[in-house]
């Protein structure tokens, strides 16, 4: 079976959904951010601070293309769809699930978050970023699952019934 790639904005629940899917399917779960940290030996904030976003995006593309295209569940970083080459790669290689979450819900979930450099960058308009990215998530998605007001179990059941 093709690997499942979870895409969506920061705070859409990709990591939690991946972990729950692991319990239900016994498949290997990977996370592109975690793979980047392991490969390059820096945390995500350190990469943004020391190397900049463009370098982070290069790392992210390289990691994505080395993920196993069969039998795994892969949570991706919220910006994975920024690069056209990544969108093309995902469309060709993955079963892609877009977790769609509203702006209000994302704000509620990330209110105290300190770990995400883009979320914590006051000069970035995050609502605009969500609006700009949404068509790109949809472009790569085989399945769209809305997450507002749903328990984790319900989201996972929706995914399992559609793959
Ligand atoms: C990013 C999202 C983060 C991480 C990095 C950049 C983004 O992942 O890859 O901070 O550009 O939206 P999550 O979506 O898991 O927070």
**What confidence tens digit (pLDDT) does each residue in 59-100 have?**
999 999 999 999 999 999 999 999 999 999 999 999 999 999
List phi, psi (to 5°) of 96: -105, 130
Q: What is the mean pLDDT of residues 149-155?
A: 97
Q: What is the dihedral of CA 157, 34, 82, 126, to 10 degrees?
A: 80
User: Nearest residue CA, atom 9 of ligand 1?
Assistant: 77
Domains parsed from the chain with CATH numbers: 4-162 (3.40.50.300)
Calculate how far, in angstroms, residue 24's C-alpha sits from the geometric centre of ligand 1: 25
User: Nearest residue CA, atom 2 of ligand 1?
Assistant: 78
pTM of the predicted model as reported, rounded to 2 decimal places? 0.97
Calculate how far, in angstroms, residue 82's C-alpha sits from the geometric centre of ligand 1: 11
Give per-residue pLDDT as tens, 31-41.
999 999 999 99
List phi, psi (to 5°) of 77: -75, 150
Calculate how far, in angstroms, residue 92's C-alpha sits from the geometric centre of ligand 1: 22
Q: What is the mean pLDDT of residues 45-69?
A: 98
Q: Identify the residues whose C-beta falls under 6 Å from ligand 1.
A: 10, 14, 33, 44, 77-79, 116-118
Give CA–CA dist 161/139, Å, rounded. 21
Whether the predicted interface score ipTM is above 0.95: yes
């Amino acid at each position: 079976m093709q690997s499942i790639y979870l895409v969506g904005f920061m705070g859409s629940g990709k990591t939690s959904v991946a972990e729950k899917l692991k319990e239900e399917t016994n498949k290997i779960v990977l996370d592109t951010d975690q793979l980047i940290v392991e490969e390059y030996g820096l945390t995500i904030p350190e990469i943004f601070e020391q190397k900049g976003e463009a370098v982070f995006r290069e790392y992210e593309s390289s990691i994505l293309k080395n993920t196993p295209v069969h039998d795994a569940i892969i949570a991706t970083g919220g910006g994975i769809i920024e690069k056209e080459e990544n969108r093309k790669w995902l469309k060709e290689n993955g079963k892609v699930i877009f977790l769609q979450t509203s702006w209000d819900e994302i704000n509620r979930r990330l209110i105290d978050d300190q770990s995400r450099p883009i979320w914590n960058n006051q000069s970035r308009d995050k609502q605009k970023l969500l609006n700009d990215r949404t068509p790109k998530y949809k472009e790569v998605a085989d399945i769209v699952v809305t997450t507002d007001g749903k328990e984790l179990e319900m989201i996972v059941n929706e995914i399992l019934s559609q793959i």
